[in-house]
Amino acid sequence: MVKISQTPGPEQTQAPSRQGRTAPTDFKSVFQSAVTHGPGAAAVPPAVPTAPAGGAPPVGSDLSRVERVVDLLDRYQEVLADPRIPLKKVGDLVDNLDREADWLAIRAAQISGPPALRNLLNQTALTAKIEALKYTRGDYV
């Protein structure tokens, strides 16, 4: 077996730069140079923390609550599509859906950061509230 270091060919540890100077070609050096001196290096925004300063829950828990509501909506759809399940048995599921929608709406009002998460929480809460209202109003009877 031939080792990579024993293969024939030119060894190149530095590549000539545009001004005729030599520049290092190892990844770490090139990466550090690009990050500190490259175009737009000063425009790199700071990392967004996952937990807001006010002690609010981290974004991950918000997303897991959204997933929970989407799972409840999926289950709700399955139950409504099953003719063997009477609509009176769906009440607990609708109550859970309504409670989760309330939580999402309250949490969305607390978020002051980027609007994307707030919009996701609001849209999910609105969808869940509409479905709970349709059930309570008797649309599926």
Any idea where the domains of the chain sit in the sequence? 59-137
Instruction: Tell me what percent of the residues of the chain surpass a pLDDT of 70.
Output: 59
pLDDT band at 74 (very low <50, low <70, confident <90, very high): very high
pLDDT in tens, 10-52: 555 555 555 555 555 676 666 666 666 655 554 444 444 444 4
Long-range CB contacts (within 8 A, 24+) of 93-100: 94/131, 94/132, 94/135, 94/136, 96/72, 97/69, 97/72, 97/73, 97/128, 97/131, 97/132, 98/128, 98/129, 98/132, 100/65, 100/68, 100/69, 100/72, 100/128
pTM comes to 0.56
pLDDT in tens, 84-103: 988 888 999 999 999 999 99
